[in-house]
Amino acid sequence: MTAGPALDPMLPRPYRIRRVHRETHDTFTFELAPAARGEGCSFAPGQFNMLYVFGMGEVPVSISGDTASSPSLHHTTRAVGTVTRAMQALKRGDTLGVRGPFGSSWPVDEAAGRDVIIIAGGIGLAPLRPALYHLLAQRKKYRRISLLYGARTPQDILYRHELEQWRGQFDLDVHVTVDRGSSEWNGNVGVVTKLIQRAPFDRSSAVALICGPEVMMRFTVMELQKHGLPLERTYLSLERNMKCAVGFCGHCQYGPLFICKDGPVFRGDRVAGLLGRAEI
């Protein structure tokens, strides 16, 4: 995979919104295409872009689509602040600025030949989806693949249609749970860590990919350790506010780590000492 001509990481490139999918009441997925031909860029699963809304600002958003669909980009965003709320109001045909891709990626190559357990909490499923696509596209390279996904309520489940399709596959284990059920929900109710016991994996070689709120990741790591999976084979995707995404503005520092360039994907042993600490 080669990138296009040398792209300045400091300058946003205009991308047009080709499609908008409202996933839930506050979460939406954009399909973006470069406004200028030849300005697309390939990416690795787990990386993110800085998305710019004209006159409002930029936010880091993980790429949530298939690497194979490059130069098209998919981004799943939740409207929680000024910029993301402005983004939510954009429509098909509108333009966004894109800088990136930035950051480290999921170890999809290193996981070859192993069981892979993917654990997602809330919108954490978005940065993990490209990894799942990659694993499924080269299914034979991997052993058992499990997807464990915890959402807030049944109405907050992302990629519902795809999840149902994945659940139907024989070579993929999918378990979904919600923190709070509803009268129509007959599935699991409870935290996603409880699903870990349902995903059998070879503790001597399996790899876990985890993304979600920090507390959820912390407890998930602990639960995995109880099941014999060491930190060296556990990967997390962390987040912090970012201004530059290239390691210059200093905002995303987490201990000595820059989330934008040392992460956002980290191997468990690198961040274990920082995870539970207050105000780091």
Does position 213 bind other proteins by CB under 8 A? Answer: yes
Residue tagged 């084979």 (tokens): 233
Report the residue from 246, 267, 270, 272 that binds other proteins according to the rule CB under 8 A: 246
Q: In whole angstroms, how close is the CB of 267 to other proteins at the nearest point?
A: 16
Burial of 246 (0-12, 13-18, 19+ CB in 10 A): middle
Pick between residue 207 and residue 242 the one whose CB is nearest to other proteins: 242
- Under 8 Å between Cβ of 66 and 29: no
Report the residue from 7, 42, 85, 97 that binds other proteins according to the rule CB under 8 A: 97
Does position 244 bind other proteins by CB under 8 A? Answer: yes
Does position 3 bind other proteins by CB under 8 A? Answer: no
| Token pair belonging to 280 | 């780091």
Report the residue from 94, 136, 227, 272 that binds other proteins according to the rule CB under 8 A: 94
Report the residue from 42, 88, 225, 253 that binds other proteins according to the rule CB under 8 A: 253
- Under 8 Å between Cβ of 124 and 216: yes
- The piece of 55-63, 65-73, 107-115, 137-145 that touches other proteins (CB under 8 A) is 55-63
Centre a 10 Å sphere on the Cβ of residue 165 and count the other Cβ atoms it contains.
12
Report the residue from 4, 14, 71, 267 that binds other proteins according to the rule CB under 8 A: 14
Does position 203 bind other proteins by CB under 8 A? Answer: no
Does position 186 bind other proteins by CB under 8 A? Answer: yes
Q: What residues form DSSP beta bridges with 96?
A: 15
Cβ-based neighbours of 113, under 8 Å, separated by 6 or more:
141, 142, 143, 205
| Token pair belonging to 43 | 């990416």
- Under 8 Å between Cβ of 173 and 163: no
Does position 277 bind other proteins by CB under 8 A? Answer: yes
Subset of 66-85 contacting other proteins (CB under 8 A): 78, 80-81
- Under 8 Å between Cβ of 78 and 62: no
Subset of 101-160 contacting other proteins (CB under 8 A): 121-123, 150-152, 156
Beta strands in the chain (DSSP E): 13-22, 27-34, 48-53, 57-62, 73-78, 95-102, 116-121, 145-151, 173-178, 188-189, 207-211, 234-237, 253-254, 257-258, 265-267
Pick between residue 44 and residue 207 the one whose CB is nearest to other proteins: 44
Report the residue from 191, 225, 231, 270 that binds other proteins according to the rule CB under 8 A: 191
Letters for 17-36 (x = contact with other proteins by CB under 8 A, - = none) are ---------x--------x-
Q: Which of 119, 140, 114, 123 is nearest to 24 (CA)?
A: 123
Q: In whole angstroms, how close is the CB of 48 to other proteins at the nearest point?
A: 15
| Antiparallel, parallel or unpaired: β 173-178 and 145-151 | parallel
- The piece of 4-12, 60-68, 110-118, 203-211 that touches other proteins (CB under 8 A) is 4-12
- The piece of 110-118, 162-170, 228-236, 251-259 that touches other proteins (CB under 8 A) is 251-259
